[in-house]
Structure 1
Amino acid sequence: MSKTKIVATVAILVILTGAGYFLSQKDVVRPAVDKQTENIVGADKDDHGCIGSAGYQWCDASSKCYRAFEEFCPDKVEDLVSLLKQSSGVILENNGETEFNWIVGQDDMMTDAKVVGVIYEAEGIKMADYNNLENYLNNNWGMDKYNVADGVVGGLRGYYKDYMACIVNFRHQEMKRGVNEPSTPVGDSLKVTLECGYFNHNNIAGLLDAQAIKEILSRKYKKAIDEVRVSITRRDEAHLAGSIKFGAEEQAEGGLFLAVKIDDQWQVVYDGNGSVDCEKMKNEYGFTEGILRPNFCD
């Protein structure tokens, strides 16, 4: 066979093979590409480089990306102050950083948490305008019953939303004080303060459990409760493990503790004295290896 015929034969075979493949594939139904599967976490950075799909957003005040469920951004308070101005006419001015107590409670147990944030203030506010401010918060935020107080001079209200807690405090700027008479407000002028900071309500159970352990140990060792500091490091619904300290920070003494909940009450079954009876902790009190190891039963 001549070279020309061989080349022609090969060309025909290639064409026939390609046509056969095309015909065999034309009726094949291929799955549609789901565009959502192409949205990979981390591929949606904004102009600041914050990854929205990972929960990050930009905070102007701190000039960084942050996650609202992990830390505080003062921008959120600035937004709230703007909304309060629109609803009440009250113009609150930023007065810097602050730290305030936020009371948490459940049933008959209460304790407080330190909240770090920012403070806004205004003076010469009429009661009608303050009432409008309070109405906005009542309608758009949750009021916390443990952070409410009223008196002759003024009062305070605690509000929470998402991962932020706020205390609104109002005080009459003029009071009449008579001899052997109770003080009474004069005029219609209030000083209003708004303090807001990060607070995670998911931590309330841990705060109350730590308070219960503090009360047990303060009674046992006859210490003032503010001299006892408790840190919970591992836990489940009925078991706690952590550390305890007594006294001022510079001279603090302490150790480790284990506690178990029996009949809905915490009992400290080890407070750092002596060695841990690991078999008793497991068999009698139901502690798991995950709580006992390391530190207690290596």
Structure 2
Amino acid sequence: MKRNLFIVVIIPFLLASCDLILKPRDKDNEVDLGDKKVVLGTDKDEKGCVTSAGYMWSEIKNGCIRVFEEGYRLAPYKNEAEATEEDNEQATLNAYIIFNEEQDKAELFLPTSSKSIILKRESEGKPYVNNDWMLESWKGYVLKKGTEIQYVSAIAQEKKFVGSDKVEQ
């Protein structure tokens, strides 16, 4: 009786397990990036960061980081006449900043650039600057290119609702 149970239950289970183990798994982890396919975890940039997992090289941290986990998010700035609902839903348009321990450098990660920009400040209370870029601390953070505001921290954009149709400023 035990022998029949072994043949009927155990052997089919073992054969099914071998079939699952021996199947190639690369297809499960493939991502289609247009004209080329990338197996997740194998696409490293020149610094060794796995870009498909969201890692980017940080000069300040001297390693691979996920800026959306470690950085401060800056949303694109549009005045109310230019803003659309679609703009608010575009998470890929966000910029991120991280700071060094001394707080005298800020690293800027823009959505349109694969390299970061290091901004420096002369002393506490002064803005972080690099060429045309300037990061000021005002109700959160404001990032300007020249005199034009490009990004603001999400905190600066939030509006509070007080339970009625009125928006609290």
TM class by shorter chain equals 0.3 to 0.5
Q: From the two aligned structures, give the one with the greater strand fraction.
A: 1
TM-score after normalising by structure 1: 0.22
Q: From the two aligned structures, give the one with the greater helix fraction.
A: 1
- Structure ID, larger Rg: 1
